[in-house]
A and B are shown apart, each in its own frame.
Chain A
């Protein structure tokens, strides 16, 4: 969807403010909410793309004004409530409703090392023919779905060159709607900065964007 998360090309957010000697977390809660988010994911009540879509559907004013960890908290609350892990009333009170039976968490401390090293690969081993090959000219589709997509607005309807085929991956667009993984090839597609931004861009500069088969057509 065309939401506030799709920020590429906006110009009014002000200067970048790197913080000197930034700690990993500024406060304890930031680390706890990151860990809670990861641990709840192992219930597999949602996938990566459902999770991203949930964050992208937060009210726009909230999305742009919260920092990364504040946004994570808001996202986790929505994921818990929308997927039935706890009710909003329980979250508000911080205590389980009366008569709730206690579950057994899938991720325990002894499983954390293997959870970590295994990662959560989004590549798939199914045999899917690539629609494009390196060197081909492609145009990105001009599409504006009201659901999650990873085709940024600034790169729709633009001509680029297939640089590299990275293999087969889950398609976020269908996965976010729980309509299946729809695995297909992902490519690095090279765009001239001028194709994206016009004459103001340096003629030498390029932007390389990862694109799924469904985002592309031959140009």
Chain B
């Protein structure tokens, strides 16, 4: 098929049939689905990149450097350091909750989509959960690029109207008498959830604590891992 002759809407229609298929639930399905993605986006993006390079509009090494940041420099392990430090150091936690930008910058996790940070604390009375109903706003320096489900229609639409139902889909049951507080990221402020420190982690090092902090626990769609037998003090 001569893909270069098709206009974008045709591409979109083709893509649509692939995109409408529910996203994969298992790695085996994942392979199948990804093969179903329109291969001509590979060609189209390659073609666009060479046009832009040839016109001097983008620099290829700059693109490489950006992709390297997305893939290797940012990610939830950064956020996990922030959380582990807050769990270990009450003075740091105080700074983190009162001046999130500065406290996160102390650990070096600054950059695009992390310019204006607010950290919100889970307590026995409040469970926080973050969404961007209008697009896909997410704190990149601490959590990395968002997973597809975060920027997909099912999550963006229902997180605000049925947060407890959404949380149950993630295996999180919040008691009726605990407030579920949903943060819709409509402005340029990015939210990071400080989850509750799991029981049985007294005396654990920051490294050991960081290993318990999951990405979803910092979005609010999960809880930190329980300490394993081997890591118990």
Contact = CB atoms under 8 A, between A and B. Distances in A.
Interface of A: 5-11, 13-22, 24-29, 31-36, 38-40, 43, 48, 52, 55, 59, 61-62, 64-70, 73-74, 76-77, 80, 85-86, 90-96, 100, 102-105, 107-109, 111-113, 115-117, 119-123, 150-152, 154-155, 166, 169-170, 186, 188, 193, 196-197, 201-202, 204-212
Contacts of B124: none
A210 to B, nearest CB: 3
A112 to B, nearest CB: 4
A13 to B, nearest CB: 4
Contacts of B189: 166, 186, 188, 210
Given A5-B135, A39-B58, A105-B58, 9 more contacts: A8-B160, A18-B149, A35-B64, A68-B151, A70-B12, A77-B8, A204-B177, A204-B178, A208-B182
A204 B70 contact: no
Contact of A8 (B75, B161, B181): B161
A204 B176 contact: yes
Contacts of A52: 135
A24 B152 CA distance: 15
Interface string B127-170: 00000011110000000110111011111111111111010011
Contacts of B30: 19-20
A16 B54 CA distance: 41
Contacts of B59: 39, 105, 107-109
Those 9 A-B pairs whose CB atoms lie nearest each other, nearest first: A94-B47, A210-B187, A8-B133, A65-B16, A109-B61, A103-B56, A35-B66, A17-B23, A29-B45
A61 B9 CA distance: 10
5 contacts: A25-B70, A33-B48, A68-B136, A92-B7, A123-B115
Contact of A62 (B12, B135, B152, B185): B12
B34 A202 contact: no
Contacts, number: 319
A125 to B, nearest CB: 13
B123 to A, nearest CB: 13
B54 A102 contact: yes
B173 interface: no
Contacts of A85: 52, 55, 57
Contact of B116 (A103, A122, A202): A122
Contacts of B64: 35, 109
Nearest to B12: A62
A210 B54 contact: no
A62 B9 contact: yes
B22 interface: yes
B63 interface: yes
A73 B9 CA distance: 12
Contacts of B22: 14-15, 17
Given A21-B27, A116-B112, A36 B186 contact: no
B94 interface: no
B55 A86 contact: yes
A36 B9 contact: no
Given A108-B62, A208-B183, A210-B189, A103 B57 contact: yes
A105 B116 contact: no
B24 A212 contact: no
Nearest to B38: A70
Contact of B49 (A36, A59, A111, A115): A36
